[in-house]
């Protein structure tokens, strides 16, 4: 099964301790969104609490998990996030989330670079479309 989501806005935010890549249906008042967040470093407490993985959130903090992303594919104005069955259940979604980027007006190299940083060393990232 799959979950389909049309994004109209994407963002990459880099802070001192983490990076966030977001996909949303609206830039200012989103009702549907996906956030991916990765800390640059994890401490012992993060590891003990199972928070030493990429954080994913769907539409609300109550639909969120650390880890459970098995792969991310990027191709032809689309991002596909593959999840473990456990993470899909926590998020209340299917094992594959298809994010349509065809309506995004601000898609650029920054998003692809952000996804590379989020996945770095932990999540396979398949880039079928090279940034221009």
Q: Where are the domains of the chain?
A: 2-127
Q: What is the mean pLDDT of the chain?
A: 88
**Residue 106: what pLDDT?**
60
Instruction: Write out pLDDT tens, residues 1-33.
Output: 567 889 999 999 999 999 999 999 998 999 999
Buried b (16+ CB within 10 A) or exposed e, 87-116: bbebbebebbbebbbeebeebeeebbebbe
Instruction: Write out pLDDT tens, residues 95-113.
Output: 999 999 888 866 556 888 8
pTM flag (> 0.85): yes
């Amino acid at each position: 099964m799959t979950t389909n989501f049309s994004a109209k806005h994407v963002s990459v935010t880099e802070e001192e301790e983490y990076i966030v890549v977001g996909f949303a249906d609206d830039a200012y008042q989103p009702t549907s969104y996906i956030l991916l967040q990765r800390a640059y470093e994890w401490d012992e407490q993060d590891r003990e609490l199972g928070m030493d993985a990429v954080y994913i959130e769907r539409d609300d903090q109550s639909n969120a998990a650390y880890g459970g992303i098995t792969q991310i594919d990027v191709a032809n104005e689309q991002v596909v996030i593959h999840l473990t069955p456990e993470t899909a259940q926590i998020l209340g979604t299917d094992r594959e989330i298809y994010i349509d980027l065809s309506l995004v007006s601000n898609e650029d190299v920054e998003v692809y670079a952000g996804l590379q940083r989020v996945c770095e060393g932990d999540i396979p990232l398949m880039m079928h479309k090279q940034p221009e």
